[in-house]
Homo-oligomer: A and B are copies of this chain.
Amino acid sequence: MNIAVAQSGGPTCAINASLAGVFSEASINSGIDKIYGSINGIEGVINNHLVEMSSIIKSNKDLELLKLTPSTVLGSCRYKLPDSETNREVYEKIISCFKKNDIDVFFYIGGNDSMDTVYKLSEYFSRNNVDVKVIGIPKTIDNDLMCTDHTPGFGSAAKYVAATIQEIARDSSVYSVKSVTIVEIMGRDAGWLTASTCVLKANDETAPHLIYLPETPFSVERFLEDVRRMLTEHKGVIVAVSEGLKLSGGEYAAEDFQSGRDDPFGHKYLSGIGKCLENIVRDEIGCKVRSIELNVMQRCASHMASKTDIDESVRIGEEAVKAAMSGVTGKMMAFERVSDRPYFSRITTVDAKDVANHERLFPKEWINNQGNNVTAHALDYFLPLIQGEVDVFMENGMPVHLKIPNWF
């Protein structure tokens, strides 16, 4: 029998590590012949655009490089599978590809949209007596998937963001004048990554001094009060904000602050919440202020990956192969935390249906009463996920990645 694996959704530092886990476990399983990679997620299956993984990973060194190569070596997609009632054709294309290539198991590494695909395919196959197993492997820096303690890719993003905020805090404290620095962190609806900056407390850092999440309605007045108070205590005030801060009505704050207005070029003004709050602080408080967008670096800075995250991401890929070989289908692999200290988690399977199209928000009970920071429970939760440093392979003073072939 052959298997196929694909990657979907936004890039992370760890999505290739899970691919490496699937590949290495499948390689040593005598029941598996060929390991196919589908180019650009499920679209590669629909279009019968597969490559043999052995043409990408040719040595153990390649395998090790792959584990620390950010982004998706097989490409990605944002394709949402239609309902089989309205569109059977695409399902039949998928079955045709699997039959043509003798593929009995399909692994889909992705977020909640991908788990929707896993669920729909496994249901369709079961109803139509197609004997192909479908297994989901989670990934997202947003950490917002249901039914799992955390998601592969999140720990590495959190580690990079924490280290970077610490460096920004040092940088912002050199002049004698007081200043505010607003750091905008990814997270449209779930504030996990922004909240994770609390890990700096474990090293007695004072930054970030304020943390605002999409889970708490944002008030400009309270924000300005908070900043003013912090300026009396700290020279360089560091504020961590989720890109998706929302007002009490539920609308995105950044959109409201600039609603309907065009920029000087006639474009819709596209700045994020960081730039908005920078302008507000400059207008209302008048102190030195800067905003910083961590942009895509927070999801691709594999040079600062968490060893715990990368190791777990490989392991969950390996376990997915074992689960499939024991007959599991329609499930997502998941982490179940057994203890914080010492940290121990085990890998289980959960129904893909329960993950599909849901979002797990940051727990309200881990947000302080003022809505401007998180509690000690959050620190206990986050800290294990950023532990350990990866051994980056360097050449000429730069990290080496497994280069993405030019096939898509």
Contacts and interface: CB of A to CB of B under 8 A. Distances in A.
A19 to B, nearest CB: 13
Given A77-B176, A265-B279, A171 B300 contact: yes
A186 to B, nearest CB: 12
Interface stretch (A98-106, A223-231, A328-336, A385-393): A385-393
A227 B265 CA distance: 20
Interface in A264-303: 264-265, 267, 269, 271, 279, 282-283, 290, 292-293, 295-297, 299-303
A358 interface: no
B397 A388 contact: yes
Given A176-B75, A295-B292, A401-B166, A396 B171 contact: no
Contacts of A176: 40, 43, 75, 77, 408
Interface stretch (A64-72, A312-320, A367-375): A64-72
A138 to B, nearest CB: 18
Interface stretch (A83-91, A129-137, A142-150, A157-165): A157-165
Contacts of A26: none
A68 to B, nearest CB: 11
Contacts of A323: none
Contacts of A262: 264
Interface residue tally of chain A, by bracket? 35 or more
A202 B396 contact: yes
Nearest to A172: B296
Contacts of A170: 11, 69-71, 300, 401, 404
B397 A175 contact: no
Contact of A163 (B166, B267, B399): B399
Contacts of A383: 396-397
A124 to B, nearest CB: 25
Interface in A40-78: 40, 43, 69-72, 75-78
Contacts of A394: 389
A204 B398 CA distance: 11
A71 B181 CA distance: 15
Interface of A: 11, 40, 43, 69-72, 75-78, 159, 162-164, 166-168, 170-176, 199-200, 202-205, 235, 258, 261-265, 267, 269, 271, 279, 282-283, 290, 292-293, 295-297, 299-304, 306, 308, 383, 386-389, 394-401, 403-404, 406, 408
Closest 5 CB pairs of A and B: A261-B264, A71-B170, A386-B397, A171-B300, A76-B174
